[in-house]
Amino acid sequence: MIENRPVTTFVSHAVIILGICIVALPIYITIVAASHDGVRVTQVPLPLLPGDQFFVNLRSAFVEGVGNAREQSVGTMLVNSLVMALMIAVGKIAISLLSAFAIVYFRFPFRMGFFWMIFITLMLPVEVRILPTFEVVANLGMLNNYWGLSVPLIASATATFMFRQVFLTVPDELLEAARIDGAGPMRFFKDILVPMSRTNIAALFVILFIYGWNQYLWPLLVTTDKSMYTIVMGIKQMLEAAEESPEWHLIMMSTLLAMVPPVVVVVTMQKLFVKGLTETEK
């Protein structure tokens, strides 16, 4: 606070609160729609306050399923999303830790070649190479399973860079001390490097979990079997069905369910989230 200007301070608060309201409006409307019965939601205008059907809708989304994806309950989709998100986050962190370790702590032929090869992945988002990647995955027989959903998205240049950065700040004396004590490379990695980068791993995990959970195009391509649908792409199927038989109360319930896990992760681990975001992007 530089000077005391009550009016400006009041205006600042007012603008932020207004901003928050606008940002939160879509969610509020979702909650309202998810808590009324199907008939009420299709009457115009939508009620302004949440209704009392929330748990009824929750139950029917889990038990009966919604729209085109009728045979699959929202529960199955949530589990699929969770498995995919965890596999992507854990897989990315594991292989990036290993390759960053190799690149920082070993001198070997083609070291820089490998480094650039990893760097290239940074430049090729899945959206721009969907067709050939899809062919590769199909040829490997990885359609409609968790491997096909997660493995092609696991390579990560950003994570490798971040760990490389972290390892470079680890003092050389630690390695010397470890060697004097007779520790081999893997022992040093497991007992010193990994524990030292704990917070970075956690921060990265938060970001990657959200990244994995929110995948859309890739699951859309590699899953044709309804039992493998993820929640984010499942919502798309529901929207398609909505054109004929609007079940907006259930669709909104499902979007709410699709949002809750990543939002909870971001809000509860806010510090790690901000750290992860600023470290991976810069």
Partner 1 sequence: MLKRVHFGPSPLPYLLVAPQIIITVVFFIWPASQALFQSMLLEDAFGLSSEFVWFDNFITLFDDRYYLEAFQRTLFFSFMVAFLSMACALVLAAMAERVVRGALAYRTLLIWPYAVAPAVAGALWMFMFDPTLGIVAYALDGLGYEWNHRLNGNEAMALLIMAAAWKQISYNFLFFLAAMHAIPRSLIEAAAIDGAGPARRFWTIIFPLISPTTFFLLVINVVYAFFETFGIVHAVTKGGPAKATEILVYKVYNDGFIGLDLGGSAAQSVILMAIVIGLTVIQFRFVEKKVEY
Region 133-162 residues binding partner 1, contact defined as CB under 8 A = 133, 135-137, 151-152, 154-155, 160
Stretch that binds partner 1, among 51-59, 67-75, 131-139, 193-201 (CB under 8 A): 131-139
Long-range interactions of 78-81: CB distance < 8 A, separation 24+ = 78/231, 78/257, 78/258, 78/261, 80/146, 80/149, 80/228, 80/229, 80/230, 80/231, 81/213, 81/230, 81/231, 81/232, 81/258, 81/261
Contacts (CB under 8 A) with partner 1, residues 105-124: 105-108, 111, 114, 117-118, 120-124
Nearer to partner 1, 200 or 209 (CB): 209
CA dist., res. 75 & res. 188, Å (int):
42
Report the SS3 class of residue 48.
coil
- List the one residue from 204, 253, 265, 272 that touches partner 1 (CB under 8 A): 265
Stretch that binds partner 1, among 61-69, 70-78, 190-198, 230-238 (CB under 8 A): 230-238
Stretch that binds partner 1, among 19-27, 55-63, 72-80, 193-201 (CB under 8 A): 19-27
- List the one residue from 130, 192, 196, 241 that touches partner 1 (CB under 8 A): 130
Closest CA to 150 of 99, 82, 235, 245: 82
CA dist., res. 103 & res. 27, Å (int):
45
Q: Is 68 in the site for partner 1 (CB under 8 A)?
A: no
R_g over Cα of the chain: 24
Residue 227 Cβ, how far from partner 1 at the closest point, in Å?
20
Q: Is 183 in the site for partner 1 (CB under 8 A)?
A: no
Burial of 2 (C-beta count, 10 Å sphere; 0-12/13-18/19+): exposed
- List the one residue from 24, 63, 138, 194 that touches partner 1 (CB under 8 A): 24
